[in-house]
Amino acid sequence: MKGITNETIELAKHISMLILDVDGVLTDGSIMLDSEGNELKVFNVKDGHGIKMLINEGINVAIITGRTSGAVQRRARELGINDVYQGCDDKVAAYEDLKINYALHYKNIACVGDDIADIPLMTRVGLPVAVGDAVEDIKQFARLVTSKEGGRGAVRQVCDFLLKSKGILKGIIDDYGKA
């Protein structure tokens, strides 16, 4: 991951919410339609496990996406993500709602994006992150850029970075070793 410095590690220690886009972040950005017009999405299981680890450690995860899909709602439910904002033409309104509902300061929020529609969020959070295959125009707004692509482990890299920065990841791994 590009951008890991003492400063970004310090920023990560204060993150209590991770906001994720879907297409291009939780997925590879492909949109598949079946013959009946149903939208299909492919999610990465490692990303999902990283999200579950964050939630288990008390770090909230939210989804804010411009598109609407039943697959997103189902995946969020499976992972325990309670805050899902779909069909957002105004992602900032959803972000402000989360800040109020959780009494958060912008420094407590990280966001992962991939395209210019995510810039308004990236400029409002304490730790903006771009996936490795994000459009170049968004990378200039990111403090971190994953080495993995969206839908291919980028979210897991962010989750692991947050947990490691907080000194939690080693304990989680140790616990799995005891099982």
Selection from 50, 108, 58 nearest residue 79 by Cα: 50
- If we measure between CA atoms, which residue out of 155, 162, 65 comes closest to residue 115? 65
Q: Phi-psi bin for 107: left (phi > 0), alpha (psi -120 to 50), beta? A: alpha
Q: How many CB atoms lie within 10 A of CB 100?
A: 9
Q: At what angle do helices 45-56 and 154-165 cross, to 10 degrees?
A: 30
> Are 134 and 114 contacting, i.e. CB atoms less than 8 angstroms apart?
yes
Alpha helix locations (H) across the chain? 6-13, 45-56, 70-79, 91-101, 119-122, 136-139, 154-165, 169-178
Q: Is residue 178 part of a domain?
A: no
pLDDT digit string (tens) for 48-72? 999 999 999 999 999 999 999 999 9
Residue 179 lies in a domain: no
Amino acid identity at 68: T
Q: What is the pTM of this model?
A: 0.96
pLDDT-derived band of residue 179, with 50, 70 and 90 as boundaries? low
Q: In this structure, are residues 114 and 133 in contact, taking their beta carbons and an 8 Å threshold?
A: yes
130 forms beta bridges with 113, 145
Residue 78 lies in a domain: yes
Q: Which two tokens stand for residue 61?
A: 């995860």
CATH number at residue 60: 3.40.50.1000
Q: Please check whether residue 35 lies inside any domain of the structure.
A: yes
What residue numbers bound the domain in which 20 lies? 6-173
Q: What percent of the chain has pLDDT over 90?
A: 91
In the chain, the N- to C-terminal Cα span, in Å, equals: 30
- Give domain status of residue 131, yes or no: yes
pLDDT (0 to 100) of residue 176:
85
Residue with tokens 């692509």: 149
Q: Any residues with CB less than 8 A from the CB of 77 and at least 6 apart, and which?
A: none
Digit-coded pLDDT (tens) for 92-102: 999 999 999 99
Give the model confidence (pLDDT) of 153-171 as tens digits. Answer: 999 999 999 999 999 999 9
Q: Let me know if residue 1 belongs to a domain.
A: no
